[in-house]
Amino acid sequence: MHVITKLSILVLLLTSCGLFEPDTGISDSFTYASEAIGATGIAGIYYPESYTSSTPVIYLLNGWGADAFAWETGIDLAMEAHKRNIMFVSLSAESNLYMNNSSLPNKNYEDYVLEIVEEVETEYGIEIEHTSRALCGISNGGGGAVYLMSQHPSLFTACGSLSGTYYNQINFNNLRSHGIRIDVGEDDTAVLWELQSLHNKLDQERINHDYYEHNGGHDWDFWKKYCPEQFDFLEARISGE
């Protein structure tokens, strides 16, 4: 026990002197009073210890009915933040689309995402252009990622969809200079045909995008396998590579 105590003290001293670097990032949670949904807004925040005002950010949209921290189910986001020098912000529209609802004033989840972007980046002192900001979503969140970028092309430069749904209200003209990656399982009866239709529509509109069908279904086994490739794609876009 005495040896462990000495080692712990040594690690703390090395860390404070900058001689010992942590092997993972920092996990945090963020709450604020949201006007868009008339309730408390909640987001999971994952960032490298050495983040700066210019650190790129990827906003992670969770699937239907999932909470703001559902990405943690299969992905070590603190480690990804540390490894890639990127901040990740995870949020949810709960059992709603990532769109505004004119008939339900407290269900404006498109505005909610925009709120979180502003609130989080203000709180953490992030000052970046849209070229350093991206979206990535699972299932309903994947559909929301493509939709939101098509509505707000000056806010995001790229998006990724893992088994995403197809929002019919996409503004394709706004996607022409942006990055898009779509991954879907060949056994995914929930969304495969929708994403094939979206892929064909993007081709018809002559919009550059990456589209992949792989073995797998609509589950975390699939998402855990292809999430790193999504992050590689988005990291290249927001880091200017």
pLDDT at 104: 85
Q: What are phi and psi of 62, to 5 degrees?
A: -80, 165
pLDDT reading at 115 higher than 80: yes
What predicted TM-score, i.e. pTM, was given to this entire model? Answer: 0.90
The more confidently predicted of residues 7 and 100 is 100
pLDDT reading at 15 higher than 70: no
Q: Is there a contact between 105 and 38 (Cβ–Cβ < 8 Å)?
A: yes
Tokens of 119: 């609130």
Strand partners, 214: 185
Q: Is there a contact between 123 and 168 (Cβ–Cβ < 8 Å)?
A: no
Within 10 A of 145 (CB to CB), how many other CB atoms are there?
30
Q: Is there a contact between 98 and 61 (Cβ–Cβ < 8 Å)?
A: yes
pLDDT tens profile 121-134: 999 999 999 999 99
48 burial type by CB count under 10 A (0-12 exposed, 13-18 middle, 19+ buried): buried
Does residue 17 belong to any structural domain of this protein?
no
Tokens of 48: 């490298």
pLDDT tens profile 18-55: 444 558 899 999 999 999 999 999 999 999 999 999 99
Strand partners, 32: 41
Share of the chain above pLDDT 90, in %: 85
- 2-32 burial code (b ≥16 CB/10 A, e <16): eeeeeeeeeeeeeeeeeeeeeebbebeebeb
Does residue 13 belong to any structural domain of this protein?
no
Strand 158-162 vs strand 133-138: parallel, antiparallel, or unpaired? Answer: parallel
Tokens of 131: 């070229």
- Helix or strand or coil: residue 210? strand
Range of the domain at 140: 24-238
Strands (E), the chain: 26-34, 39-47, 57-61, 87-91, 133-138, 158-162, 179-185, 210-214
Q: What is the CATH number of the domain that holds 122?
A: 3.40.50.1820
Tokens of 80: 């990804």
Does residue 155 belong to any structural domain of this protein?
yes
- What is the count of structural domains for the chain? 1
DSSP string, 67-87: -TTGGGGT--HHHHHHHHT-E
Does residue 11 belong to any structural domain of this protein?
no
pLDDT at 73: 85
Query: Which strands form 57-61's sheet, in the order they lie side by side?
Result: 26-34, 39-47, 87-91, 57-61, 133-138, 158-162, 179-185, 210-214
Strand 57-61 vs strand 133-138: parallel, antiparallel, or unpaired? Answer: parallel
User: Of 6-10, 187-191, 212-216, which range is least confident?
Assistant: 6-10
